[in-house]
Amino acid sequence: MTGKRKTTIKDVAAAAGVSVTTVSDALSGKGRLPEPTRLKVKAVAETLNYRPSAIALGLREGGLGMVGICIAPAAGNAILTDVGYWAAIVTHASQTILAQGLAPVLLPHSVDLIGRLTIPLDGALVVDPLEYDPVLAFFDEKKVRYVTIGRDPGREAALWVDDDNRTGISRLLERTAQPGAALAFLTVGPKKSYVVDALEGARHWASTHGSSLKVLHCEGLEQEQVDRMVERALRGGVTMLIAQVDRLALRVLASLEAKGLRVPDDVRLLSASDGPELERASPPISAVRQHPDALADMAANALLDLIRGKADLKSATIPMETAIRPSAPAITA
Amino acid sequence: MTGKRKTTIKDVAAAAGVSVTTVSDALSGKGRLPEPTRLKVKAVAETLNYRPSAIALGLREGGLGMVGICIAPAAGNAILTDVGYWAAIVTHASQTILAQGLAPVLLPHSVDLIGRLTIPLDGALVVDPLEYDPVLAFFDEKKVRYVTIGRDPGREAALWVDDDNRTGISRLLERTAQPGAALAFLTVGPKKSYVVDALEGARHWASTHGSSLKVLHCEGLEQEQVDRMVERALRGGVTMLIAQVDRLALRVLASLEAKGLRVPDDVRLLSASDGPELERASPPISAVRQHPDALADMAANALLDLIRGKADLKSATIPMETAIRPSAPAITA
DNA sequence: CACATAAGAAGAAACGTTTCTTTCATTGCG
DNA sequence: CGCAATGAAAGAAACGTTTCTTCTTATGTG
């Protein structure tokens, strides 16, 4: 911890009339120095406001203890749209990292910008990587170790932690969907592993319960795009919509309302990720709950282990709970 | 940008059968080397996956380009309560910092933890410092330059940017309060400069408009604490309540509702800081609007200027807008 | 008194770069 | 043919530490 200073150990040595070795020893308590010398050197150092250079220390020790936190853009776009989830991850990861004496550095999801940085990273946490994520490729090339929250669907996964989206969504369907119901899974934005997994869970449930499953995609979260997608989804008697993400679920709800459809009477609605707004919607929307806090803690700890060279690290999933709300009440089997 | 590697320039030199100087020159494009040599060295470096050590570079250049972002705890407690405001500040500050090629490091508001970090900070941004903020004192001692968003009310301010809370609140009163109305200003949590300023603005308005102004404080945001504070405030015919912060305003509203008081008919309610929930409350609550985005940008830029040794830097305020909502509609003068 | 030992302090290497200076060999011109 | 100029590459210093090694001087013991 040092700012831009200029008092070096040499200055102290000169001022105290001793060698740098003596200064170093005096300050660190090592070596065999008579107490008077030690005290005098300390006093001089104090007077000169001397602080050892963190960089020089880093050079010697071979590292500064910095870990990056990089969040891939969410559906829609910016970081700010997912505030709650994002903030939970950032705060928890940071706390874990700081508690271990390392420093969390906020990284943009841009190889260009990251590449321009001249800081030595001991490792990085990548949140919700994209398919063929360029940042991951960059880290591979630069030999920066990383752990991801979620996986890059287009790459042999290294070390990751994730919610168990597959089981989560199929459990939610189990409780809210009639066997044989016609389902549609609505996705938005770039492909992420949690969507892939949730989709797989939905597919599995559908195939084992005699249900059909349509999959639809739109690029952004503009209401008109969502309207069109919902329009398409409803063609052919779909009775249960599954939105990939909370914000999409809200748009879908608006869409249905605009079309004069009642939820859940005419169509049921589910979200594959939860959020505070879902509870407050009317009707409140059923969803699968993520665990950003636990995910961040686990991921940060795994990364720290990885950095420290611990062997036998394993990727892991966290089981998800379901929040059953009026948009898709529990079925009475 | 480098991970933990081991291939050094010496390895490359040895492998290529040249000196380190030659490697350095070949890679940087400097010096006068024949193209074949340059190419060969580059090839070897490539093969060995050589990356220059960021730390060594930092040692030479005298800095790594890292700036800390430190957020003082808000009323209530954790970072997570103020997500929107906090996230806006962090993202904007980070973007500005990254755009200049520096790296934003997330710092906890704890001298203990910060002190344990062994990273060289070129500067820091401190958001909403507390009175006699220990982190600021720490930075002073360590000679780390900083810029604050808001000021430490207990200290000669260095360089800061802030919303113009004083003018903001008095303008809001001007439009929503009857001259002579009995006001109460409700505060919560640690003393921060925006409260001091808002309070001053309210005092000023009150004293120039024949109004009385009670000031009340409570420690936390528990509903019972707030209830008691509101109780005390209302004794003596107060007709206009001003809450220091959006979350407090919501609690106060709940309090009033529980007491069977109607807003704005029985009591008017104002908030000295805005938030999305204020709009959605019933009735929606009038407030002064902050500018976390602009604040963060300005603060980050000021810090960067400070780091680069630019002279004549000045603290600055941003004018605030008022959002007039049903909890305290505009008066008809 | 001489020699071994220990204390006290300084020297030097190493961490990984870049850059300034030096060395050596080759070429060209008078 | 000799010397200057140039090209190519190596050497060395510097950035700020720590730590291992060496040196000097004083103390103690036989």
Q: Distance between CA atoms of A102 and B105, rounded to whole angstroms?
A: 11
Burial A212-228 (b: 16+ CB within 10 A, else e): ebbebebeebeeeebbe
Q: What is the mean pLDDT of residues A32-45?
A: 89
End-to-end CA distance of chain B: 62
Burial B184-198 (b: 16+ CB within 10 A, else e): bbbbbbbebbbbbbb
Distance of residue B204 Cα from the nearest chain A Cα, in angstroms:
37
User: Tokens 């820091």 label which residue?
Assistant: B124
Which of the residues B118, B143, B277 would you substitute to probe the A interface, choosing the one with the greatest number of A C-beta atoms within 10 Å? B118
Which pLDDT band holds residue A80 (cuts at 50, 70, 90)?
Answer: very low
Q: What is the mean pLDDT of residues A115-130?
A: 91
In terms of CA atoms, which chain A residue is nearest residue B106? Answer: A104
Q: Is the pLDDT of residue A77 over 60?
A: no
Q: Is A7 on the interface with B (CB under 8 A)?
A: no
Q: Which residue has the higher pLDDT, A31 or B228?
A: B228
Q: What is the pLDDT of residue B79?
A: 40
Q: Distance between CA atoms of B33 and B221, rounded to whole angstroms?
A: 69
Q: What angle do CA B76, B82, B86 make, to 5 degrees?
A: 130
Q: What is the pLDDT of residue A75?
A: 59
CATH code for the domain defined by A9-61: 1.10.260.40
Element of type H or E holding A184: strand A182-188
- The contacts found for B134-142 with CB under 8 angstroms, 24 or more apart, are B135/B70, B135/B72, B135/B107, B135/B109, B135/B110, B135/B111, B137/B111, B138/B111, B138/B114, B139/A3, B142/A1, B142/A2, B142/A3, B142/A51
Domain B66-163+292-321 matches domain B166-288 at the CATH topology level: yes
Which residues are registered as beta bridge partners of A160? A148
Q: What is the pLDDT of residue B78?
A: 46
Per-residue pLDDT 10s for chain B (333 aa) are 555 557 899 999 999 999 999 999 999 888 788 888 899 999 999 998 888 888 998 888 888 889 999 999 875 554 434 677 888 999 999 999 999 989 999 999 999 999 888 888 989 999 999 999 999 999 988 878 999 999 999 998 889 999 999 999 999 999 999 999 999 999 998 899 999 999 999 999 999 999 999 999 998 889 999 999 999 999 988 999 999 999 999 999 999 999 999 999 999 999 999 988 899 899 999 999 999 999 999 999 999 998 887 888 999 999 999 999 999 999 886
Q: pLDDT tens for residues A91-106? A: 999 999 999 989 999 9
Contact call for A307 and B4, based on CB within 8 A: yes
Who among A5, A121, A122 is closest to B143 (CB)?
Answer: A5
DSSP secondary structure code for residue A147 in this structure: E
End-to-end CA distance of chain A: 62
The domain defined by B166-288 folds into Rossmann fold (3.40.50)
Distances (CA, A) of A5 to A9, A11, A208: 11, 12, 68
Amino acid at A285: I
Q: Distance between CA atoms of B165 and B303, rounded to whole angstroms?
A: 22
For the record, the structure tokens of A273 come out as 């990720």
Distance D26 C1' – A54 CA (angstroms): 39
Distance of residue A122 Cα from the nearest chain B Cα, in angstroms:
5
Q: What is the pLDDT of residue B309?
A: 78
Q: What is the pLDDT of residue B75?
A: 58
Q: Is B144 on the interface with A (CB under 8 A)?
A: yes
For chain B positions 43-62, those within 8 Å of chain A (CB to CB) are 49, 51, 53-59, 61-62
Q: What is the pLDDT of residue B92?
A: 95
Which of the nucleotides in strand D have any atom less than 7 Å away from a protein CB atom?
7-12, 14-20
User: Tokens 């699968």 label which residue?
Assistant: A288
Q: What is the mean pLDDT of residues A170-180?
A: 96
Q: If we measure between CA atoms, which residue out of B234, B235, B289 comes closest to residue B263?
A: B234
Q: Distance between CA atoms of A135 and A143, rounded to whole angstroms?
A: 12
Q: Is B84 on the interface with A (CB under 8 A)?
A: yes
DSSP secondary structure code for residue B120 in this structure: B
For the record, the structure tokens of A40 come out as 């005098």
Domain ranges of chain B: 9-61, 66-163+292-321, 166-288
Q: What angle do CA A316, B107, A4 make, to 5 degrees?
A: 130
Q: Is A64 on the interface with B (CB under 8 A)?
A: yes
In terms of CA atoms, which chain A residue is nearest residue B280? Answer: A280
Contact call for A91 and B103, based on CB within 8 A: no
What SS3 state is found at A113?
helix
CATH superfamily of A166-289: Response regulator (3.40.50.2300)
What SS3 state is found at A290?
coil
Contact call for A4 and B307, based on CB within 8 A: yes
Q: Distance between CA atoms of A259 and A254, rounded to whole angstroms?
A: 9
Q: Quick check: B59 and A8 in contact, CB under 8 A?
A: no
232-291 of chain A touching strand D, CB 7 A cut-off: none
Q: If we measure between CA atoms, which residue out of A109, A5, A55 comes closest to residue B55?
A: A55
Question: Considering just the CA atoms, what is the radius of gyration of chain B in Å?
Answer: 27
Contact call for B122 and A3, based on CB within 8 A: yes
Q: Distance between CA atoms of B128 and B133, rounded to whole angstroms?
A: 10
**What is the CATH architecture assignment of B66-163+292-321?**
3-Layer(aba) Sandwich (3.40)
Residue spans of alpha helices (H) in B179-322: 193-208, 223-234, 246-258, 276-280, 292-307
Q: Quick check: A305 and A157 in contact, CB under 8 A?
A: no
Amino acid at B60: R
Who among A58, A117, A120 is closest to B101 (CB)?
Answer: A117
Q: Quick check: B256 and B231 in contact, CB under 8 A?
A: no
Q: Distance between CA atoms of B192 and B127, rounded to whole angstroms?
A: 10
Contact call for B56 and A53, based on CB within 8 A: no
Residues of chain B with C-beta less than 8 angstroms from the C-beta of A143: 2-5, 49, 51
Who among B91, B98, B99 is closest to A79 (CB)?
Answer: B91
Q: Is B118 on the interface with A (CB under 8 A)?
A: yes
Contact call for B105 and A108, based on CB within 8 A: no
| Residues in Cβ contact with B35 at an 8 Å cutoff, skipping those fewer than 6 apart | none
Q: pLDDT tens for residues A208-234? A: 999 999 999 998 889 999 999 999 999
Q: Is B94 on the interface with A (CB under 8 A)?
A: yes
Contact call for A143 and B99, based on CB within 8 A: no
Contact call for B4 and A83, based on CB within 8 A: no
Q: If we measure between CA atoms, which residue out of B275, B303, B312, B284 comes closest to residue B83?
A: B275
Q: What angle do CA B253, B259, B264 make, to 5 degrees?
A: 50
Q: Quick check: B214 and B186 in contact, CB under 8 A?
A: no
Q: What is the pLDDT of residue A49?
A: 86
Residues of chain B with C-beta less than 8 angstroms from the C-beta of A79: 87, 91
Distance of residue B171 Cα from the nearest chain A Cα, in angstroms:
30
The domain defined by A66-163+292-319 folds into Rossmann fold (3.40.50)
